Amino acid sequence: MMTDEAVQIHTVWKILLAIQLVISTLAWALYRQLPLKVVSRCWGWVSQIELPTSLRPTLIGFYVWLFRCRIDEAAVTNLKEYRSLSDFFRRELKPGVRPIDEGYILTSPCDGRILHVGEVMDGMLEQVKGVTYTLSDFFGPPGSDICRNLAQRLQGRSGKREDEPSTSLPEDEYMRALMHQCENRLFFCTIYLGPGDYHRFHAPTDWTVHSRRYFPGNLFSVNPSIAKRLRGLFSMNERAVYFGKWRHGFFSLAAVGATNVGSINVYCDQDLVTNRRHTPKTDGNYHCYDFTHIDNNNDDLPLDDAYDRDDVLLQKGNGGGVNIEKGEMIGDFNFGSTIVLVFEAPRNFSFSFQPGDRVQYGQGLGSGHIDYCDHIM
């Protein structure tokens, strides 16, 4: 039996745990109510203010020091040439600083830290170890804009038209319907871009983009410390998800917004405007864009006017959509954020990085070597 003193200590311990739980619950409830979208829009506006030339080395230099930016890797090392903080966030790298590992068919799309990698199990992904969210929450209801198999599977179950949104598919069936080959598996990789990282992101492989879904969402921080505590974080946040195919079947890349991310820019998608003050309402609370209608002439691509078309190698795919070559620039964040890849691959595909590892754009992301994958195919 416990002594009176032990009982008292145990009771006090339980009271302290209860108090901690109440404080934590109230703190998270308060955090969810913060005007993070307004704060992020304001930060986006501030970051684009043109700085006096004489103050640029001091102000931008302080940012470089604070977040340990590798200014030696930047194409422009003279801080006076960056007109604003936004210009610095979106800086280009020197040619050859990030060589593309041609030995792998999948390379890292950005610089950052691996939050989690693995296989999608029963339609569930892990944002960090032990904290999960569903494919259907992240991608939205099944429809032919994501994958025609999804729409056909839904139509077969309910008799609805392909273009009618619904969430009636079970998570495991939703997952299986995405895949082109039943013997393959679905994998995911989540990379967090910190404030000091290179803020552009690139194509991790040769693939064809068919469509995009933009979810207005919230702008919670995607810092790993928040991701550990806020379940479904990536499904709640603003994001632009691009769907298409690569050599092994289904492929998607999602750019996820976060606190103080003034904007997400995707160069082949001029219609994308993120972090708006007034977002037009749509059924399902997302906005679709179809890339399969684009003409073969590159001049018809909806590229951002701020970028040279010759620098972004995008072409009309043979089966519709936009082809993007591995390593080519796709877009940028106006501050750090997160990239989520979800893709189909042979069942014995494995990653060469673990959660917590640092990764750089262009590094081989998995063990699926080109010769190995060609042998499987």
Question: Using an 8 Å Cβ cutoff, are 333 and 199 in contact?
Answer: yes
Instruction: From the candidates 40, 47, 211, 337, give the one annotated as an active-site residue.
Output: 337
Question: Using an 8 Å Cβ cutoff, are 312 and 328 in contact?
Answer: yes
Residue 11 CA to residue 15 CA, distance in Å, equals 6
337 is known as an active-site residue: yes
Q: Which of 35, 79, 89 is CA-nearest to residue 59?
A: 79
Instruction: From the candidates 47, 136, 145, 202, give the one annotated as an active-site residue.
Output: 202
Tokens at 23, concatenated:
């404080």
Instruction: From the candidates 40, 47, 108, 111, give the one annotated as an active-site residue.
Output: 111
In the DSSP assignment, the letter for residue 74 is B
Residue 20 CA to residue 22 CA, distance in Å, equals 5
Report the relative pairing of strands 239-246 and 207-215 from DSSP bridges. Answer: antiparallel
Question: Using an 8 Å Cβ cutoff, are 123 and 171 in contact?
Answer: yes
144 is known as an active-site residue: no
Instruction: For the chain, report the end-to-end CA distance as a whole number of angstroms.
Output: 66
Tokens at 12, concatenated:
């006090």
Report the relative pairing of strands 264-266 and 287-290 from DSSP bridges. Answer: unpaired
Q: Which of 147, 145, 171, 150 is CA-nearest to residue 160?
A: 150
111 is known as an active-site residue: yes
In the DSSP assignment, the letter for residue 377 is -
State the virtual CA torsion across 212, 197, 87, 57 in degrees, nearest 10. Answer: 170
In which element (H, E) is residue 16 found?
helix 4-33
Tokens at 153, concatenated:
């599977």
Catalytic positions are: 111, 202, 337
